[in-house]
Amino acid sequence: MSTTPSSSVTEQLQQAFRYLQEGQLAQAEQLCRQLCVIESAPVDALQLLAVIYAQTQRSALADQYFLRALALAPERADILGNYANLLWETGRIEATIEYCQRAITLKSQRPEVFNTLGNAWFRLGRFKDAEASYRQALHFQADYSEAHNNLGQTLASLHDYRAAEQCFRNALAIQPDFILAAENLKLYATHWLEPLVGRHLLLRRYGVEDAAYIKACYQNQAFMQQYNRFLARTISEEALSEKLAEDQVLHPSQLKAVNWTIRSGDSEQAIGIAGLVDIQWLHRRAEFVIGIPDSADRRAGSGLEATLLIMDFAFNRLRLNKLMTIVYADNDASLNNNHALGFRQESLLKQHLRDPDTKGYIDLVGNALTEAEFRQKARLAKLSRRLLGRDVTQLA
């Protein structure tokens, strides 16, 4: 095994580090490999080579050289932290936690170590521990955009959506082109949770207090025959309350649905139910459902106003690209309303479902309205100006 003067070793290490910073990984690797074959290979050369192997997806070699470095310097917090990151990237969660904690015990103040530890806790579902770790990362580096975003995701998992939203905004203020933070902000924005307010109606997200009204809708056989023949009509009010309580703490993006009771603006008495269900965020589409049991309320234009509020929410707040409706083929009134509002038929599913009561087969009609079509609907613009006092077909 050869030897090299210490001054030359130092110079080669410095040059290798410069190569690494400049992204010239092949040159950095060559220098480090030369240093790692000499007698008493420098710890920093072993670690630098391990980092290069990790960055070039050669995990087994990276693991080998990190362990060689740690055998020579078991109390180097920087090596422990870098090795913990490799462990995280290769899915060894428990070991990630162990090496992060060893680095922290040695007074490491590197924010990356706390961020990696937070990632590991998050993967294990230990969200409070993850939150504490991300906050420590931000204590040491307040402008750490990745830690802000990760803290936001953790707070969303803890159902603190307003705080999560602020974290995503913080991340974007630091790094405006942070795509993941921008997506998370859209996904967990608190406007999902806010009521939709019209001139005569209020649409409020389902809550436990709505159990009695929703159950009454489910037990209205004539109404459910057109709204949804397959919902569990025999569910008890207690069981329904429990389900509503569970759903209420979750964000609509986690449920992939947002459901509202439609309420009279004056009395706030419930007159109907509506929702966006099967929300496919990746594809920016959702299914739109609405039902108002009392024909007198339907004749008063409540269904139209509620629909315009939901279109405004879907296309202008959520920025969805497409709304769909699935209508029973024998529901002529709903089909006519769909077409009058600009939905166009996309499919006819013949004998697609089996009626739970009659055991006969049911045809379904699939309708859709895209954002581009919505923006061009002069009738919707006119109706929304009259009923809501604003043109919802245009972005504010």
The answer, yes or no, to whether residue 282 has pLDDT greater than 90, is yes
Two tokens, residue 286: 């959702």
Residue 313: partners with Cβ closer than 8 Å, 6 or more residues away: 196, 276
One-letter amino acid of 170: N
Two tokens, residue 200: 């005569």
Phi, psi of 53, deg, nearest 5: -60, -40
| DSSP structural state of residue 303 | H
- Full-model pTM: 0.85
Q: Which helix (H) or strand (E) element contains residue 361?
A: strand 361-370
The answer, yes or no, to whether residue 202 has pLDDT greater than 90, is yes
Q: Which helix (H) or strand (E) element contains residue 324?
A: strand 322-328
Question: Which residue, among 111, 86, 89, 116, has the nearest Cα to 100 in the 3D structure?
Answer: 116
- Can you tell me which residue has the tokens 């806010």? 194
The total of other beta-carbon atoms located within 10 Å of residue 11's CB is: 13
Percent of the chain with pLDDT over 70: 98
Average pLDDT over residues 369-383: 97
Which of 21-25, 64-68, 191-195, 284-288 has the lowest average pLDDT? 21-25
| Tens digit of each residue's pLDDT (9 = 90 or more) over 8-54 | 777 887 887 787 888 888 888 888 788 887 667 789 888 888 899 99
pLDDT class of 357 with cuts at 50, 70, 90: confident
pLDDT class of 7 with cuts at 50, 70, 90: low
User: What domains, with CATH codes, occur in the chain?
Assistant: 6-190 (1.25.40.10), 192-388 (3.40.630.30)
Torsion of CA 58, 61, 67, 72, to 10 degrees: -120
Provide DSSP, 175-213.
-TT-HHHHHHHHHH-GGGTSPEE-SSEEEEE--GGGHHH
Two tokens, residue 15: 């040059």
C-alpha 130 chain-centroid distance: 17
The answer, yes or no, to whether residue 4 has pLDDT greater than 80, is no
- Can you tell me which residue has the tokens 């024909």? 295
Question: Which residue, among 298, 215, 214, has the nearest Cα to 261 in the 3D structure?
Answer: 214
Residue 206: partners with Cβ closer than 8 Å, 6 or more residues away: 214, 244, 247, 248, 259, 260, 261
The distance between the two most distant Cα atoms of the chain, rounded to a whole number of Å, is 95
The total of other beta-carbon atoms located within 10 Å of residue 378's CB is: 9
| Tens digit of each residue's pLDDT (9 = 90 or more) over 253-269 | 999 999 999 999 777 89
**Cα distance between residue 322 and residue 266, in whole Å:** 32
